[in-house]
Amino acid sequence: MNKPIIISVVNHKGGVLKTTTTANLGAALAALGKRVLVCDLDPQQNLTASLIGLTPYDSNTRTLFDALMDEAGFDDLLRPTSTKGLDLLPCAENFFAAELNLAPREAREFALRTCFEHTKRLSQYDFVLIDNSPSVSLVTVNALVASDFYIVPVSAEYLPLTGLIMLGNCIARFQRKLCPSLKSLGVVLTMYHRSENICRDVERKLQSELGEMLFSTRIRVNTKAKTAPSVQKTIFQFENDREGRGTEDYTELANEVLARVEAATVQPSVMEAANG
Protein backbone atom coordinates (compact mmCIF):
# COMPACT_ATOMS: atom_id res chain seq x y z
CA MET A 1 0.00 0.00 0.00
CA ASN A 2 1.28 3.46 -0.91
CA LYS A 3 2.13 5.51 2.15
CA PRO A 4 2.01 9.27 1.74
CA ILE A 5 4.72 11.56 3.06
CA ILE A 6 3.25 13.25 6.14
CA ILE A 7 4.52 16.73 6.99
CA SER A 8 3.51 18.82 10.00
CA VAL A 9 3.63 22.59 9.77
CA VAL A 10 4.51 23.74 13.29
CA ASN A 11 5.47 26.73 15.34
CA HIS A 12 4.21 27.64 18.80
CA LYS A 13 4.39 31.30 17.76
CA GLY A 14 1.11 32.60 16.38
CA GLY A 15 0.64 34.33 13.05
CA VAL A 16 3.80 33.09 11.33
CA LEU A 17 1.84 31.68 8.33
CA LYS A 18 1.35 28.05 9.40
CA THR A 19 -2.16 27.92 7.97
CA THR A 20 -1.39 29.96 4.85
CA THR A 21 1.65 27.79 4.17
CA THR A 22 -0.27 24.53 4.69
CA ALA A 23 -3.00 25.61 2.25
CA ASN A 24 -0.73 27.07 -0.41
CA LEU A 25 2.08 24.54 -0.20
CA GLY A 26 -0.68 21.94 -0.57
CA ALA A 27 -2.07 23.76 -3.61
CA ALA A 28 1.42 24.13 -5.09
CA LEU A 29 2.13 20.41 -4.71
CA ALA A 30 -1.27 19.65 -6.28
CA ALA A 31 -0.41 21.96 -9.21
CA LEU A 32 2.77 19.91 -9.66
CA GLY A 33 0.62 16.80 -10.06
CA LYS A 34 0.77 15.44 -6.51
CA ARG A 35 -2.34 14.22 -4.68
CA VAL A 36 -2.50 16.14 -1.43
CA LEU A 37 -4.53 16.00 1.78
CA VAL A 38 -4.33 18.98 4.12
CA CYS A 39 -5.49 18.44 7.73
CA ASP A 40 -6.82 21.10 10.07
CA LEU A 41 -5.67 20.25 13.59
CA ASP A 42 -6.22 23.72 15.01
CA PRO A 43 -9.47 24.39 16.92
CA GLN A 44 -9.38 27.91 15.43
CA GLN A 45 -10.48 26.10 12.20
CA ASN A 46 -8.62 28.63 10.04
CA LEU A 47 -7.57 26.12 7.39
CA THR A 48 -11.14 24.83 7.08
CA ALA A 49 -12.50 28.39 6.88
CA SER A 50 -9.89 29.28 4.23
CA LEU A 51 -10.53 26.32 1.94
CA ILE A 52 -14.19 25.31 2.21
CA GLY A 53 -15.76 27.71 4.72
CA LEU A 54 -17.28 26.86 8.08
CA THR A 55 -20.62 25.15 8.56
CA PRO A 56 -22.64 25.46 11.79
CA TYR A 57 -21.68 22.72 14.24
CA ASP A 58 -24.19 19.88 14.46
CA SER A 59 -23.71 17.47 17.37
CA ASN A 60 -25.25 14.64 15.29
CA THR A 61 -22.56 14.86 12.64
CA ARG A 62 -19.32 12.93 13.11
CA THR A 63 -16.26 15.16 13.27
CA LEU A 64 -12.49 15.00 13.50
CA PHE A 65 -12.82 15.12 17.30
CA ASP A 66 -15.09 12.04 17.31
CA ALA A 67 -12.76 10.08 15.02
CA LEU A 68 -9.75 11.01 17.15
CA MET A 69 -11.48 9.92 20.33
CA ASP A 70 -12.50 6.59 18.71
CA GLU A 71 -9.03 6.22 17.14
CA ALA A 72 -10.98 5.46 13.94
CA GLY A 73 -10.28 6.23 10.27
CA PHE A 74 -11.02 9.60 8.70
CA ASP A 75 -12.40 8.24 5.40
CA ASP A 76 -15.91 9.66 5.78
CA LEU A 77 -14.60 13.08 6.87
CA LEU A 78 -12.37 13.94 3.90
CA ARG A 79 -13.70 16.72 1.65
CA PRO A 80 -12.62 17.88 -1.80
CA THR A 81 -11.63 21.53 -2.20
CA SER A 82 -12.06 23.67 -5.31
CA THR A 83 -8.43 22.86 -6.22
CA LYS A 84 -7.94 19.66 -8.23
CA GLY A 85 -5.84 17.16 -6.32
CA LEU A 86 -6.26 18.96 -2.97
CA ASP A 87 -8.52 17.46 -0.29
CA LEU A 88 -9.17 18.63 3.26
CA LEU A 89 -9.66 16.92 6.61
CA PRO A 90 -11.77 19.69 8.17
CA CYS A 91 -11.91 20.72 11.80
CA ALA A 92 -15.19 21.39 13.61
CA GLU A 93 -16.02 23.49 16.61
CA ASN A 94 -15.88 20.60 19.12
CA PHE A 95 -12.18 20.02 18.43
CA PHE A 96 -11.28 22.42 21.24
CA ALA A 97 -12.10 19.52 23.62
CA ALA A 98 -9.51 17.19 22.07
CA GLU A 99 -6.69 18.37 24.29
CA LEU A 100 -8.47 17.69 27.60
CA ASN A 101 -10.01 14.44 26.42
CA LEU A 102 -6.75 13.02 25.13
CA ALA A 103 -4.79 13.90 28.27
CA PRO A 104 -5.86 11.03 30.59
CA ARG A 105 -5.71 8.33 27.88
CA GLU A 106 -3.18 5.59 27.55
CA ALA A 107 -0.74 6.07 24.64
CA ARG A 108 -2.29 9.51 24.26
CA GLU A 109 0.42 10.73 21.86
CA PHE A 110 -0.38 8.01 19.29
CA ALA A 111 -4.11 8.56 18.69
CA LEU A 112 -3.72 10.51 15.44
CA ARG A 113 -1.21 8.02 14.07
CA THR A 114 -3.70 5.21 14.75
CA CYS A 115 -6.45 7.18 12.97
CA PHE A 116 -4.22 7.57 9.91
CA GLU A 117 -3.40 3.84 10.00
CA HIS A 118 -7.16 3.14 9.87
CA THR A 119 -7.82 5.61 7.03
CA LYS A 120 -8.07 3.49 3.86
CA ARG A 121 -8.13 6.53 1.55
CA LEU A 122 -4.79 7.74 2.88
CA SER A 123 -3.02 5.58 0.30
CA GLN A 124 -4.58 7.75 -2.45
CA TYR A 125 -2.37 10.67 -1.46
CA ASP A 126 1.26 11.47 -2.13
CA PHE A 127 1.44 14.10 0.61
CA VAL A 128 -0.43 14.84 3.83
CA LEU A 129 0.17 18.29 5.34
CA ILE A 130 -0.96 19.04 8.88
CA ASP A 131 -1.76 22.56 10.08
CA ASN A 132 -1.20 22.98 13.81
CA SER A 133 -2.31 25.43 16.46
CA PRO A 134 0.17 27.98 17.84
CA SER A 135 1.33 25.76 20.72
CA VAL A 136 3.19 22.53 21.27
CA SER A 137 0.05 20.97 22.74
CA LEU A 138 -0.75 17.28 23.07
CA VAL A 139 -2.60 17.54 19.76
CA THR A 140 0.54 18.99 18.15
CA VAL A 141 2.61 16.17 19.66
CA ASN A 142 0.11 13.74 18.07
CA ALA A 143 0.68 15.46 14.72
CA LEU A 144 4.46 15.21 15.04
CA VAL A 145 4.31 11.57 16.12
CA ALA A 146 2.21 10.83 13.01
CA SER A 147 4.56 12.76 10.71
CA ASP A 148 7.67 11.88 8.72
CA PHE A 149 8.84 15.50 8.58
CA TYR A 150 8.07 18.92 9.95
CA ILE A 151 8.42 22.40 8.50
CA VAL A 152 8.76 25.50 10.67
CA PRO A 153 7.53 28.79 9.21
CA VAL A 154 9.06 31.78 10.98
CA SER A 155 8.16 35.37 10.24
CA ALA A 156 10.95 37.84 9.66
CA GLU A 157 10.77 39.51 13.09
CA TYR A 158 12.79 39.42 16.29
CA LEU A 159 10.38 37.61 18.66
CA PRO A 160 9.52 34.63 16.43
CA LEU A 161 13.26 34.16 15.92
CA THR A 162 13.92 33.83 19.65
CA GLY A 163 11.04 31.35 19.91
CA LEU A 164 12.69 29.07 17.36
CA ILE A 165 15.29 27.78 19.80
CA MET A 166 12.63 27.14 22.44
CA LEU A 167 10.63 25.20 19.87
CA GLY A 168 13.67 23.09 19.03
CA ASN A 169 14.27 22.26 22.69
CA CYS A 170 10.62 21.45 23.17
CA ILE A 171 10.49 19.02 20.21
CA ALA A 172 13.80 17.44 21.19
CA ARG A 173 12.40 16.65 24.64
CA PHE A 174 9.85 14.13 23.35
CA GLN A 175 11.26 13.25 19.94
CA ARG A 176 13.78 10.62 21.04
CA LYS A 177 11.16 8.68 23.01
CA LEU A 178 8.09 9.10 20.84
CA CYS A 179 9.12 9.68 17.23
CA PRO A 180 12.82 9.07 16.63
CA SER A 181 12.37 8.92 12.84
CA LEU A 182 10.79 12.40 12.63
CA LYS A 183 13.00 14.78 10.65
CA SER A 184 13.03 18.51 10.19
CA LEU A 185 12.59 19.47 6.54
CA GLY A 186 13.61 23.05 7.23
CA VAL A 187 12.66 26.54 8.31
CA VAL A 188 10.88 28.86 5.90
CA LEU A 189 11.15 32.60 6.34
CA THR A 190 7.77 34.30 5.89
CA MET A 191 6.40 37.86 5.85
CA TYR A 192 9.62 38.83 4.10
CA HIS A 193 10.19 42.35 2.84
CA ARG A 194 13.67 42.84 1.38
CA SER A 195 13.78 46.59 2.03
CA GLU A 196 13.15 46.22 5.79
CA ASN A 197 16.30 46.07 7.94
CA ILE A 198 14.75 43.67 10.46
CA CYS A 199 13.95 41.20 7.66
CA ARG A 200 17.53 41.21 6.42
CA ASP A 201 18.86 40.93 10.00
CA VAL A 202 16.65 37.92 10.75
CA GLU A 203 17.59 36.41 7.40
CA ARG A 204 21.33 36.77 8.12
CA LYS A 205 20.95 35.27 11.59
CA LEU A 206 18.95 32.31 10.32
CA GLN A 207 21.37 31.76 7.47
CA SER A 208 24.35 31.66 9.79
CA GLU A 209 22.68 29.43 12.40
CA LEU A 210 20.73 27.07 10.18
CA GLY A 211 22.79 26.97 7.01
CA GLU A 212 21.12 24.76 4.42
CA MET A 213 18.21 23.97 6.73
CA LEU A 214 16.84 27.41 5.91
CA PHE A 215 14.77 27.07 2.74
CA SER A 216 16.00 29.37 -0.06
CA THR A 217 12.40 30.38 -0.69
CA ARG A 218 11.15 33.53 1.02
CA ILE A 219 7.40 33.98 1.46
CA ARG A 220 7.10 37.66 0.73
CA VAL A 221 4.59 40.05 2.28
CA ASN A 222 1.55 39.89 0.02
CA THR A 223 -1.75 41.69 0.52
CA LYS A 224 -3.54 39.23 -1.79
CA ALA A 225 -2.65 36.37 0.57
CA LYS A 226 -4.63 38.15 3.28
CA THR A 227 -7.77 38.36 1.14
CA ALA A 228 -7.74 34.95 -0.57
CA PRO A 229 -8.98 32.94 2.48
CA SER A 230 -12.05 35.18 2.84
CA VAL A 231 -13.33 33.86 -0.50
CA GLN A 232 -12.08 30.28 0.10
CA LYS A 233 -9.37 30.56 -2.53
CA THR A 234 -5.76 29.50 -2.52
CA ILE A 235 -3.24 32.11 -3.62
CA PHE A 236 -3.03 30.30 -6.98
CA GLN A 237 -6.75 30.74 -7.61
CA PHE A 238 -6.83 34.28 -6.23
CA GLU A 239 -3.86 35.63 -8.17
CA ASN A 240 -4.61 33.59 -11.28
CA ASP A 241 -1.24 34.69 -12.61
CA ARG A 242 1.82 32.48 -13.02
CA GLU A 243 3.96 35.44 -12.09
CA GLY A 244 1.89 36.38 -9.04
CA ARG A 245 4.03 36.89 -5.96
CA GLY A 246 2.34 34.19 -3.86
CA THR A 247 2.10 31.79 -6.79
CA GLU A 248 5.82 32.13 -7.40
CA ASP A 249 6.78 31.84 -3.72
CA TYR A 250 4.72 28.74 -2.98
CA THR A 251 5.73 27.03 -6.25
CA GLU A 252 9.37 27.59 -5.34
CA LEU A 253 8.77 26.25 -1.83
CA ALA A 254 6.99 23.15 -3.20
CA ASN A 255 9.94 22.41 -5.49
CA GLU A 256 12.33 22.73 -2.56
CA VAL A 257 10.13 20.49 -0.42
CA LEU A 258 10.04 17.85 -3.17
CA ALA A 259 13.82 17.95 -3.53
CA ARG A 260 14.39 17.70 0.24
CA VAL A 261 11.91 14.88 0.70
CA GLU A 262 13.52 13.02 -2.18
CA ALA A 263 16.96 13.51 -0.75
CA ALA A 264 15.52 12.38 2.65
CA THR A 265 18.39 14.32 4.03
CA VAL A 266 20.62 12.93 6.73
CA GLN A 267 21.72 16.42 7.77
CA PRO A 268 21.37 17.33 11.45
CA SER A 269 17.93 18.46 12.44
CA VAL A 270 17.30 22.15 12.04
CA MET A 271 16.82 22.57 15.73
CA GLU A 272 20.14 20.92 16.57
CA ALA A 273 21.71 23.37 14.13
CA ALA A 274 19.82 26.26 15.74
CA ASN A 275 21.16 25.25 19.11
CA GLY A 276 24.68 25.18 17.78
Ligand X SMILES: Nc1ncnc2c1ncn2[C@@H]1O[C@H](COP(=O)(O)OP(=O)(O)OP(=O)(O)O)[C@@H](O)[C@H]1O
- Summarize as ranges the residues that interact with ligand X (CB under 6 A): 14-20, 42, 44, 46, 134, 191, 219, 221-222, 225-226, 229
* CB 124 to ligand X: min, Å: 26
Taking CB positions, which residue lies at the least distance from Mg ion? Answer: 19
* CB 151 to ligand X: min, Å: 12
Measured between alpha carbons, how far is 46 from 93 in angstroms, rounded to an integer?
A: 11
* CB 26 to ligand X: min, Å: 13
x/- binding map, residues 1-20, to Mg ion, per CB under 5 A? -----------------xx-
- 197-210 and 158-178 helices, crossing angle to 10°: 30
Amino acid identity at 144: L
From the list Mg ion, ligand X, none, pick the one residue 14 interacts with, judged by a Cβ distance below 5 to 8 Å according to partner type: ligand X
Between residues 51 and 273, which has the closer beta carbon with respect to Mg ion?
A: 51
Between residues 134 and 168, which has the closer beta carbon with respect to ligand X?
A: 134
**Interface of this chain with Mg ion, residues 19 to 38, rule: CB under 5 A:** 19
Contact pick of 21, 46, 81, 217 for Mg ion (by CB under 5 A): 46
What's 87-130 look like in SS3?
EEECCCHHHHHHHHHHCCCCCHHHHHHHHHHCCHHHHHCCEEEE
Looking at the chain, the number of H-run helices and the number of E-run strands are 12, 8
C-alpha to C-alpha distances, 249 to 57, 192, 209, 221, nearest whole angstrom = 35, 11, 23, 10
* CB 266 to ligand X: min, Å: 29
User: Residue 178 class from Cβ within 10 Å (0-12 exposed, 13-18 middle, 19+ buried)?
Assistant: middle
Between residues 189 and 219, which has the closer beta carbon with respect to ligand X?
A: 219
What's 156-225 look like in SS3?
CCHHHHHHHHHHHHHHHHHHHHHCCCCEEEEEEEEEECCCCHHHHHHHHHHHHHHHHHEEEEEEECCHHH
* CB 118 to ligand X: min, Å: 27
* CB 131 to Mg ion: min, Å: 6
- Selection from 139, 138, 143, 163 nearest residue 153 by Cα: 163
From the list ligand X, Mg ion, none, pick the one residue 87 interacts with, judged by a Cβ distance below 5 to 8 Å according to partner type: none
From the list ligand X, Mg ion, none, pick the one residue 222 interacts with, judged by a Cβ distance below 5 to 8 Å according to partner type: ligand X
From the list ligand X, Mg ion, none, pick the one residue 239 interacts with, judged by a Cβ distance below 5 to 8 Å according to partner type: none
Backbone angles phi, psi at 127, to 5 degrees: -135, 140
Which range, of 39-47, 174-182, 238-246, 267-275, touches Mg ion by CB under 5 A? 39-47
Q: Are 199 and 170 in contact (CB under 8 A)?
A: no
Q: Are 6 and 39 in contact (CB under 8 A)?
A: no
From the list ligand X, Mg ion, none, pick the one residue 219 interacts with, judged by a Cβ distance below 5 to 8 Å according to partner type: ligand X
* CB 18 to Mg ion: min, Å: 5
Between residues 143 and 273, which has the closer beta carbon with respect to Mg ion?
A: 143
Binding site for Mg ion (CB under 5 A): 18-19, 46
